Amino acid sequence: MPHPAHDGDRGSVAYRTLGVTKVYPTGETEVHALRGVDLEIPDGEFVVLLGASGSGKSTLLNILGGLDRPTEGRVFFRDAELTRMNDTALTGFRREHVGFIFQFYNLIPSLTARENVALVTDIANDPMPAEDALGMVGLAERIDHFPSQLSGGEQQRVAVARAVAKRPDVLLCDEPTGALDSATGITVLEALESVNRELGTTTLVITHNSGIAAMADRTIVFADGAILEVRVNEEKRPARELQW
């Protein structure tokens, strides 16, 4: 797949969606998970997506990441329209441009932190060394540890290193702190903050924890499959100062 036409300067738009809907057929009824989402995410921003359980956050994230397709509407990443791509192109988009982080880390237990990250860098175009990715998330001292020798927060930071080692343009994080206590969750958010600052990776973090919005450039509040409110944050707080 060709590279996108430009390199994500600030001021340009990473994602744009127009009238995105998602309907799941479930037996006799239908679930309207997304009801016409119009969205713009500027390149390089750290965006928090807030909303109650069932409001459609994960559905939207999966569509932005090319894991799923909308029922109707259009999705653009920079100059490329995801909703016009065939499955092969969409897989290529995902591989080349998107890093995912989920609530559960899915590390391979028999591999060290370095080896878990190297699994991804072995197949990427222009990866960073696994050591560098682990250093960026504060795990330089832990590279030869196995997952069972790491805390939950450290394991999630390995997952962050694994996602960023291929230098994705966007990082899509679905409740990355959902399984962690607040102090540990903050160490994971600090890792995401470092990646966003040092690599300029556009970052979207789903949470139902409104305290996390304080560190975001922009907060999108979701309710019942639609955007309720977009707030631009003029005075971001560092992750280490967050509380919830």
Ligand X SMILES: Nc1ncnc2c1ncn2[C@@H]1O[C@H](COP(=O)(O)OP(=O)(O)O)[C@@H](O)[C@H]1O
Stretch that binds Mg ion, among 54-62, 106-114, 208-216, 223-231 (CB under 5 A): 54-62
For ligand X, the binding residue among 8, 44, 56, 99 (CB under 6 A) is 56
Q: Closer CB to ligand X, residue 1 or residue 67?
A: 67
Instruction: Enumerate residues 6+ apart whose C-beta is below 8 A from 115.
Output: 108, 130
Query: Is residue 17 within 8 Å of residue 56, measured between CB atoms?
Result: no
Query: Is residue 128 within 8 Å of residue 134, measured between CB atoms?
Result: no
Interaction of residue 59 with Mg ion, rule CB under 5 A: no
Q: Closer CB to Mg ion, residue 58 or residue 201?
A: 58
Min CB(60)–ligand X separation in Å = 7
The token duo for 199 is 């690599």
How far is C-alpha 20 from the chain's CA centre?
A: 19
Interaction of residue 70 with ligand X, rule CB under 6 A: no
Please tell me the distance from the alpha carbon of residue 86 to that of residue 66, in angstroms, as a whole number.
11
For ligand X, the binding residue among 57, 78, 97, 142 (CB under 6 A) is 57
Q: Closer CB to Mg ion, residue 59 or residue 121?
A: 59
Instruction: Enumerate residues 6+ apart whose C-beta is below 8 A from 94.
Output: 65, 66, 67
What is the DSSP track for 74-127? EEEETTEEGGG--HHHHHHHHHHHEEEE-SS----TTS-HHHHHHHHHTTSSSP
Stretch that binds ligand X, among 10-18, 53-61, 126-134, 159-167 (CB under 6 A): 53-61
Pairing of strands 13-26, 29-42: antiparallel
Site residues for ligand X, 86-145, by CB under 6 A, read none
Stretch that binds Mg ion, among 53-61, 99-107, 158-166, 228-236 (CB under 5 A): 53-61
Site residues for ligand X, 22-51, by CB under 6 A, read 24, 26, 31, 33, 51
For residue 27, the number of C-alpha atoms closer than 13 Å in the C-beta half-sphere is: 0
Min CB(180)–ligand X separation in Å = 18
Q: Closer CB to Mg ion, residue 56 or residue 153?
A: 56
Min CB(229)–ligand X separation in Å = 15
Min CB(118)–ligand X separation in Å = 31
Element counts in the chain: helices (H) and strands (E): 6, 10
Interaction of residue 54 with ligand X, rule CB under 6 A: yes
Stretch that binds ligand X, among 35-43, 57-65, 151-159, 231-239 (CB under 6 A): 57-65
Interaction of residue 177 with Mg ion, rule CB under 5 A: no
